[in-house]
Amino acid sequence: MKTWAMMYSIIWLVFFEIMLVMFLPVNFTINLVIHSLLGAATLWFSYSIFQRVKHSSCPARIKRITKTTWGLVIFQTALGVILAIGIYLSWEIFSQQS
Protein backbone atom coordinates (compact mmCIF):
# COMPACT_ATOMS: atom_id res chain seq x y z
CA MET A 1 0.00 0.00 0.00
CA LYS A 2 1.28 3.47 -0.80
CA THR A 3 2.19 5.82 2.03
CA TRP A 4 -0.51 8.36 1.22
CA ALA A 5 -3.12 5.58 1.19
CA MET A 6 -1.90 4.36 4.57
CA MET A 7 -2.17 7.89 5.95
CA TYR A 8 -5.71 8.15 4.67
CA SER A 9 -6.59 4.69 5.99
CA ILE A 10 -5.43 5.48 9.51
CA ILE A 11 -7.99 8.29 9.65
CA TRP A 12 -10.76 5.81 8.86
CA LEU A 13 -9.43 3.30 11.39
CA VAL A 14 -9.56 5.89 14.15
CA PHE A 15 -13.02 7.04 13.02
CA PHE A 16 -14.35 3.47 13.30
CA GLU A 17 -12.73 3.13 16.73
CA ILE A 18 -14.51 6.27 17.93
CA MET A 19 -17.85 5.08 16.53
CA LEU A 20 -17.36 1.67 18.15
CA VAL A 21 -16.70 3.21 21.55
CA MET A 22 -19.53 5.75 21.29
CA PHE A 23 -22.33 3.47 20.13
CA LEU A 24 -21.37 -0.06 21.33
CA PRO A 25 -23.10 -2.00 18.53
CA VAL A 26 -22.59 -5.46 20.12
CA ASN A 27 -21.82 -6.86 23.55
CA PHE A 28 -18.77 -5.80 25.56
CA THR A 29 -16.57 -8.82 24.82
CA ILE A 30 -17.00 -8.59 21.06
CA ASN A 31 -16.49 -4.81 21.22
CA LEU A 32 -13.25 -5.36 23.13
CA VAL A 33 -11.99 -7.77 20.47
CA ILE A 34 -12.95 -5.44 17.60
CA HIS A 35 -11.47 -2.45 19.44
CA SER A 36 -8.23 -4.37 20.03
CA LEU A 37 -7.98 -5.40 16.38
CA LEU A 38 -8.57 -1.84 15.19
CA GLY A 39 -6.00 -0.63 17.72
CA ALA A 40 -3.45 -3.17 16.50
CA ALA A 41 -4.10 -2.06 12.91
CA THR A 42 -3.62 1.56 13.98
CA LEU A 43 -0.32 0.61 15.64
CA TRP A 44 0.87 -1.19 12.53
CA PHE A 45 -0.19 1.60 10.15
CA SER A 46 1.36 4.37 12.23
CA TYR A 47 4.65 2.49 12.62
CA SER A 48 4.78 1.70 8.91
CA ILE A 49 4.07 5.31 8.00
CA PHE A 50 6.71 6.53 10.45
CA GLN A 51 9.35 4.18 9.02
CA ARG A 52 8.54 4.99 5.39
CA VAL A 53 8.56 8.74 5.95
CA LYS A 54 11.70 8.61 8.11
CA HIS A 55 13.66 7.06 5.24
CA SER A 56 12.23 9.35 2.56
CA SER A 57 13.25 12.77 1.33
CA CYS A 58 10.13 14.56 2.58
CA PRO A 59 10.41 17.73 4.71
CA ALA A 60 11.51 17.48 8.34
CA ARG A 61 8.14 18.81 9.52
CA ILE A 62 6.33 15.80 8.06
CA LYS A 63 8.88 13.49 9.66
CA ARG A 64 8.27 15.09 13.05
CA ILE A 65 4.50 14.78 12.62
CA THR A 66 4.71 11.06 11.83
CA LYS A 67 7.10 10.53 14.76
CA THR A 68 4.68 12.31 17.09
CA THR A 69 1.75 10.32 15.71
CA TRP A 70 3.63 7.08 16.38
CA GLY A 71 4.37 8.26 19.93
CA LEU A 72 0.72 9.17 20.55
CA VAL A 73 -0.43 5.77 19.32
CA ILE A 74 2.00 4.09 21.72
CA PHE A 75 0.69 6.29 24.57
CA GLN A 76 -2.93 5.51 23.68
CA THR A 77 -2.17 1.79 23.59
CA ALA A 78 -0.52 1.86 27.02
CA LEU A 79 -3.36 3.95 28.45
CA GLY A 80 -5.95 1.61 26.93
CA VAL A 81 -4.31 -1.46 28.46
CA ILE A 82 -4.12 0.24 31.86
CA LEU A 83 -7.78 1.31 31.66
CA ALA A 84 -8.87 -2.17 30.53
CA ILE A 85 -7.06 -3.76 33.48
CA GLY A 86 -8.61 -1.22 35.85
CA ILE A 87 -12.11 -1.88 34.51
CA TYR A 88 -11.62 -5.64 34.71
CA LEU A 89 -10.36 -5.44 38.29
CA SER A 90 -13.19 -3.14 39.36
CA TRP A 91 -15.72 -5.57 37.89
CA GLU A 92 -14.07 -8.43 39.77
CA ILE A 93 -14.26 -6.48 43.04
CA PHE A 94 -17.91 -5.57 42.51
CA SER A 95 -18.87 -9.12 41.51
CA GLN A 96 -17.27 -10.53 44.68
CA GLN A 97 -19.17 -8.09 46.92
CA SER A 98 -22.57 -9.13 45.58
Q: What is the pTM of this model?
A: 0.79
pLDDT per residue over 30-53, tens digit each? 888 888 899 999 999 999 999 999
Who's near 46: CB < 8 A, 6+ residues apart? Answer: 10, 66, 69, 70, 73
Distances (CA, A) of 5 to 16, 19, 35, 45, 80: 17, 21, 22, 10, 26
Identify the pLDDT of residue 87.
Answer: 81
- pLDDT value at 21 more than 90: no
3-class SS of residue 80: helix
Residue 58's Cβ-count burial label (10 Å; 0-12, 13-18, 19+) is middle
